[in-house]
Amino acid sequence: MGTCICPIDAQFFDQVAALLTPPTLPQIQEYFEVLEAKRHCSGLKVKPDAKHGKGVHSEVNFQEDDLILKDEMLVGAQHSSNKIDCFVCSFCFRFIGSIELQIGRKLYLQELGVSAVDGSGSSDGIGCNTSSEKTRIPQDTIQSLMNSNLQLPYSENFPLPLVVPCLGGCKEAYYCSKSCAEADWDSFHSLLCIGHGSSSPSTEALLKFVKHANETNDIFILAAKVISFTILRYRKLKAAHVQREGKHDSSNQFDSCIFPLLLEAWKSVSMGFKRRWWDCIALPEDVDSSEKVEFRMQIKDLAFESLQLLKEAIYDKECAPLFSLDIYGHIIGMFELNNLDLVVASPVEDYFLYIDDLPVSQKKEVENLTKPFLDALGDDYSISCQGTAFFPLQSCMNHSCIPNAKAFKREEMLMEEWSRTRMDKLL
């Protein structure tokens, strides 16, 4: 490889550098003023300062248990490994279907897992010589749970939204409502869907990317969502621009009209504090100082591998700088430094607790029906939906060892809420 940098390369690197330039103090102020107004968080202000960066300041005194703010996530994803346990809306992470579907689906997938591990491949469950200590439920009963042919007692007290399939027909993403399906399609999923309606130029490449992320680190899926979000937003801004200004030749990615639109599309991501992932990742305890450099190189190589696969799947030359390793590393680094765990409690746990609390006179009869399912689920019955998400306002708050606020999630999903006493000068 030569070292010569041609003008096109130079322009590309300039654009990458522009995307990674932190916003100015007035830009930060302006962005968060709009966000504060949208979130109705009166009494709170994001104040940037040149020395400490951004901080969330309280201008009023909060009482204990007061709600401080509700934040809306910019991007979030359920952990891949959690998808077996919890069937949730791919946009707002609300549990969907029914208690029966949640239980039936989990048992069905558990059975598949058992067959795959013990190699029996048996699907009828009769006379299976299995190492599993859990109670086995017959396949036809599991199917009845999943097809709504079997209703568990009192499950009507735990209604869940009907399952809405993905608009692209992928059978991977499901939603709690048409509005969540459309919002996800519009913001993220239309480029990342592996169904027939996908806008991805290669769903085959997309499958390879997802497989790699599932086998290595599912944070790559979240990074892909950020890139997809930016591209889709860029395309909308460009369509509006073309409509306003008339048609222009867009075949040149260095067209002076294009890059400002990409910068605008990237704006909400630009506000998050970032460093390169391989520079800021916390080192595992078993990595000693002599192996530090090598460990960081391995992380960088892993990100490179993932980015190549993503590029094959959704590359758009007008958004080329988004596919630079530097940008990819910074997006993941932003998650590493700011992300909040996403946890949504399981209604299946609530259901079994409810059954357990029934008056003794009713309990015995009901438990005859429900206990085999509880035994079959084992300790996993209460697993919550788990994932990771980036929240714009919350990300401006730093960790504290003596916190005066806590994050929690209520029924209205999408919102991460912060409450408790007061938050004065929390940097």
Cβ burial, residue 311 (10 Å; 0-12/13-18/19+): middle
Smallest gap from residue 54 Cβ to Zn ion (A): 29
Q: Which one, of 112, 110, 98, 111, lies nearest residue 146 by Cα?
A: 98
Tokens standing for residue 247? 């048609």
If the CB atoms of residues 199 and 388 are measured against Zn ion, the closer one turns out to be: 199
- Considering the complex, state which of residue 180 and residue 265 has its C-beta at the smaller distance from Zn ion: 180
Question: Which DSSP category does 426 fall into?
Answer: B
Q: How near is the Cβ of 168 to Zn ion at its closest, in Å?
A: 4
CB 209 within 8 A of CB 217: no
Residue 136 near residue 128 (C-beta atoms within 8 A): yes
The neighbouring-strand residues paired with 77 are 388
Using DSSP's 3-state secondary structure scheme, residue 297 falls into: helix
Backbone angles phi and psi of 161, in degrees to 5: -65, 150
Position 176 contacts Zn ion (CB under 5 A):
yes
Residue 177 CB, nearest approach to Zn ion (Å):
6
Q: Which residue in the set 166, 222, 397, 407 belongs to the binding site for Zn ion (CB under 5 A)?
A: 166
Amino acid, res. 109: L
Q: If binding is defined by CB under 5 A, does position 180 make contact with Zn ion?
A: yes
Does the protein bind Zn ion through residue 96 (CB under 5 A)? no
Contacting residue, 48, 97, 125, 168, with Zn ion by CB under 5 A: 168
Residue 343: which H helix or E strand, with range? strand 340-344
Candidates 187-195, 264-272, 384-392, 402-410 — which segment interacts with Zn ion by CB under 5 A?
Answer: 187-195
- At its nearest, how many Å lie between Zn ion and the CB of residue 313? 13
Q: Is 15 helix (H, G, I), strand (E, B) or coil?
A: helix
Closer CB to Zn ion, 210 or 423, in the complex: 210
Q: Which of 19, 28, 137, 170 binds Zn ion (CB under 5 A)?
A: 170
Residue 179: CB atoms within 10 A of its CB come to 12
Contact 49, 292 (CB under 8 A): no
Quick one: 92 or 407, whose CB is closer to Zn ion? 92
Select from 125, 195, 329, 392 the one that contacts Zn ion (CB under 5 A): 195
* 393 part of the interface to Zn ion, by CB under 5 A: no
| 201/315 Cα distance (integer angstroms) | 8
Determine which residue in the list 69, 160, 173, 348 makes contact with Zn ion, applying CB under 5 A: 173
Which residues in the 271-330 window bind Zn ion by CB under 5 A?
Answer: none
68, 73, 92, 407: which one binds Zn ion (CB under 5 A): 92
- Under DSSP, is residue 336 helix (H, G, I), strand (E, B) or coil? helix
Q: How far apart are CA 196 and CA 63, in angstroms?
A: 52
**Beta carbon of residue 260, minimum distance to Zn ion (angstroms, whole number):** 31
Binding-residue total with Zn ion (CB under 5 A): 11
Query: CB of 89: closest distance to Zn ion in angstroms?
Result: 3
Based on the shown chain and the rule CB under 5 A, indicate whether residue 385 belongs to the binding site for Zn ion. no
Q: Which of 28, 69, 86, 89 binds Zn ion (CB under 5 A)?
A: 89
Q: What is the rounded CA–CA span in Å between residue 194 and residue 76?
A: 19
Binding positions for Zn ion, rule: CB under 5 A: 89, 91-92, 166, 168, 170, 173, 176, 180, 193, 195
